[in-house]
Amino acid sequence: MSTVEDRPTTDTTGSPRENGGRRWVGRSVLRKEDPKLLAGRAVYVGDVALPGMLHGAVLRSPHAHARIVSIDTSAAEAIPGVAAVLTGAQAAELVNPMPAFCAEPVPQTAIAIERVRYPGEAVAIVAATDRYVAEDACAAIKVEYEVLPAVVDPEAAMAPDATRIHETLDSNVAFHRTLDFGDVDADVARAHTVVRTRARWHRMGAQPMETAGAVASWNPFDQSMTVYSNSNFHNFLPWAFAGMLGVSTNRLRMIPCAVGGSFGSKHFITKVLAIAGALTKATGRPVQYLEDRVDNISANDNVGCDRIYDAELALTEDGEMISLTLRIIDDYGAYFQFAHGQHGNAMAQPTGPYRIGSLRYDVSCVLTNKVQQGFFRGAGADPGNFVLERLVDKASEELGIDRAEIRRRNFIAPEQFPFKTPPGNVYDSGDYAAVLDRALEIAGIDKWRAEQERLRAEGRYLGIGLATCQERTGYNASEWWFLYDNPPLPATSTPESVKLDVDAMGGVRVEIGCPLWGNSPETVVSQVVAEEFGIDPADVSVTYADSTTGAMSAGPGGSRLTIMLSGATRGASRTIRDKMIRIAAHAMEMDPDDVECVDGTFRAKGAPSTSMSMAEIGMRAHLFFHDTPEEESSGLVAVHTYDHPYSTPPSADRKDMGAFYPMVSHACHIPIVEVDPETGVVTLRAYYAVNDCGTLMNPTLVEGQIVGGIVQGIGAALMEEYRYGEDGSLDTPTFREYLMPSMHEVPEIVVEHLETPSPFTEYGVKGAGEGGRLVAPTAIASAVDDALKPLGVWVDELPMTPERVVGMVAGAREGRP
């Protein structure tokens, strides 16, 4: 069976394109990961079963803010099958506080000590023979709380006299900074029009199908620990985990499991690792702790941005965008583990695809009694795109310039790349007008305008959305701390490594440092190896490295993995291919320059019958050293580390944040909605997206990323939201309250690709992991706006729940802004 679809790639992508003479890169090779996933044979944390393994459960705070007066665990300990019950203080004797990226003193332990700061914070943990007994024990723990005032509203939290979340800080504003890039005041002074919006982007969460979890096994005899988990950072920050777990770095072995979805939420997952680690140390037995849904929604690093924007876009009379001001209050919840990383991230593309000359970015990171922010697909750039595109639509309205036209006038032109943005990040390439034009074409705008007119005559409200957005890809982890004047860490190149070997029979194996996080690293690596050696991707074996192999990997995140893996794999492939050419040339008594690798065969250029197979060279390289060139050592193994292809450190004065996210994809989305203004119900009728993520590594995989991201974007636009009561209680603790789209809420999504290769990466690939969700929310807001334009509605808050839509209609009727 062939692993390649029979149809040509042009059918798959819907648009004709050149493949640059490549054979495997760019083809919709079937996903190598699928069979084991579809057959239920991938090994997740929940599948790990070690001899004598216990199961953990967590008792969580029902209060948003309270002092823990006392904890009585005696009844829980008396339940047969319970092996350990630990309070926060007891756990602190076994494991250390959780590592954090912030420079501010915001200490955090996996189990609260003395005080709980958000609803769902862990108060005690249990290990028992099974999860049922462990939960029985949790129910038997008696905790006496002294309830404290809950800080829920982020603006109220900023008041000097507000109840303090952390006594170690002077204020609940954990971080504030204003950064000016260019002469904002002068640009605003010369503007003809300044459009403003006060926009609200509520907190939403990644909600992976599989929750975070770990199996930890402590060996007291050699003081070592083995940990199975769905963390992404076992080969990025294993030393940080070792420090937290109280294990020396060279005695911690972290084994990656298949991951049932993450969407950014499982990078660090220090809570589950600390909980499993403390329980295995307490019991001397392996312990599995896998969050259930309530654990994950209430307490994991699942939550994305929670922002209030006061935003202004300054324009000239003819619609030239000249300056952007963003004043942001971001509700970070109770802890600051990932610092202001989502604002570092947003700094990659605040001015979008437009030639906006200056930027003021004023951010306040505020602490409240809510679960802390983590990372979620979009990672800070998602609300940025929402607000910028809303401002552009508003400018189009106020200046009377068609919304496609005002975008065209301001797009960075193809000949202006590489383009340095005001904050310093560089965009590699693009053709934004071509994407817009094609999107308008495939959507059949004229047909929909006619339909809109027809329905309006019936009293129905159809809307056509439009958004043109950036997707910065290939992240550099420096963004997590580079807004600080004196960063706790220097800039990083965020490397990715692979180990490739060709065995004595010519078989190719690649060991990768990242986990299987639900994306397709095996497929991508196999395609690249296949491209470089001319072999079939199905013949390439891909395995996952644990933390003891020396692999370096930051894994998937920030839409980086295909960029980084293709770079690392191509580098390793070329090292080994070149060595094999030298060995073959030696054997065939030729100059290496006269030998080429074609279809997995090393042959004389111009005389293909003089050749050696990979197996012949492999055997010679492994066993018959004396028949190889003198300067070669035996074996065919290469480790190749691919550092970030283009990053420059920020300037000391932070007037230039440097290039850190320079592979920039672009998309135009056109959703069609129908809105019932009486009930507030928004229904998606159709959806069109044109995407340019450079060279497509695998069109089917990219389409999957885009469609999945759009579906999450529909959730962001219409339903997803963490809501808290006035007392700080979480009103959305399960999927009955926290809603995500089902197949019934998703229309047919038409996706097309254009390809503007990146000059910075191997093959010209860019990332594509977040684009769907980075564009869809603002595109759908634009569509609802368009639908309700006769009623004067302006959308500046997501999600657009039925109640909010009815409220917006009523507000417009009453003349509220």
Partner 1 sequence: MKPAAFAYLAPRDLDEALDQLAEHGADARVLAGGQSLVRLMNARLASPAVVVDINRVPGLDSLAVTNGSGPATLRLGATVRQRTSELSPDVAAHAPLLVEAGAHVAHAPVRSRGTVVGSVAFADPSAELPTALLALDGRVVVRSRAGERTIEADDFFTGAFTNALDAGEMVVAIEVPGSPPGTGSAFVEVARRHGDLPVCGVAAVVTRSDDGRVSSARIALCGADERPVRARAAEDALTGSDGGADAVAEAAARAADGLSPRGDCHGSPDFRRHLARILTGRAVSTAVHRAAGEA
Positions in the binding site for partner 1 (CB under 8 A) = 131-132, 135-136, 139, 292-294, 678-681, 719, 721, 723, 731-732, 734, 737, 739, 741-742, 744-745, 801-803, 806
Write down the residue that tokens 């992991």 correspond to. 769
Judged by CB, which is closer to partner 1: 36, or 293? 293
Judged by CB, which is closer to partner 1: 674, or 762? 674
Judged by CB, which is closer to partner 1: 114, or 130? 130
Judged by CB, which is closer to partner 1: 132, or 624? 132
Q: Is 386 helix (H, G, I), strand (E, B) or coil?
A: helix
Alpha carbon distance 734, 295 (integer Å): 10
What are the angstrom distances between the C-alpha of 709 and each of 220, 347, 470, 814?
45, 21, 14, 36
**What DSSP letter does each residue of 647-706 carry, written as one string?**
--PPPTTSS---SSS-EEEEEEEEEEEEEETTTTEEEEEEEEEEEE-BB-S-HHHHHHHH
Judged by CB, which is closer to partner 1: 50, or 739? 739
Question: From the CB of 216, what's the least distance to partner 1, in Å?
Answer: 21
Judged by CB, which is closer to partner 1: 646, or 738? 738
DSSP 8-state secondary structure symbol assigned to residue 413:
P
Beta-sheet pairing, 287-290 with 54-60: parallel
Question: From the CB of 307, what's the least distance to partner 1, in Å?
Answer: 20
**What DSSP letter does each residue of 134-198 carry, written as one string?**
HHHHHHH-EEEEEE------HHHHTSTTSPPS-TTSSSSEEEEEEEEES-HHHHHHT-SEEEEEE
Judged by CB, which is closer to partner 1: 375, or 461? 461
Instruction: Kindly report the backbone phi and psi dihedral angles of residue 520, in degrees, each rounded to the nearest multiple of 5, phi listed first.
Output: -130, 55
CA 653, 655, 656, 660 torsion-angle sign: positive
Question: From the CB of 211, what's the least distance to partner 1, in Å?
Answer: 10
Question: From the CB of 295, what's the least distance to partner 1, in Å?
Answer: 9
Judged by CB, which is closer to partner 1: 292, or 398? 292
Question: From the CB of 737, what's the least distance to partner 1, in Å?
Answer: 5
Judged by CB, which is closer to partner 1: 600, or 733? 733
Question: From the CB of 723, what's the least distance to partner 1, in Å?
Answer: 5
Question: From the CB of 720, what's the least distance to partner 1, in Å?
Answer: 11
Alpha carbon distance 436, 649 (integer Å): 33
Judged by CB, which is closer to partner 1: 128, or 443? 128
Please choose, from the candidates 480, 491, 419, 494, the residue with its C-alpha nearest in 3D space to the C-alpha of residue 663: 419
Alpha carbon distance 279, 129 (integer Å): 12
Question: From the CB of 160, what's the least distance to partner 1, in Å?
Answer: 32
Q: Is 372 helix (H, G, I), strand (E, B) or coil?
A: coil
Q: Is 775 helix (H, G, I), strand (E, B) or coil?
A: helix
Question: From the CB of 431, what's the least distance to partner 1, in Å?
Answer: 38
Residue 607: its H or E element:
strand 607-613
DSSP 8-state secondary structure symbol assigned to residue 234:
T
Half-sphere exposure of 270 (CA within 13 A, CB side): 24
Question: From the CB of 237, what's the least distance to partner 1, in Å?
Answer: 30
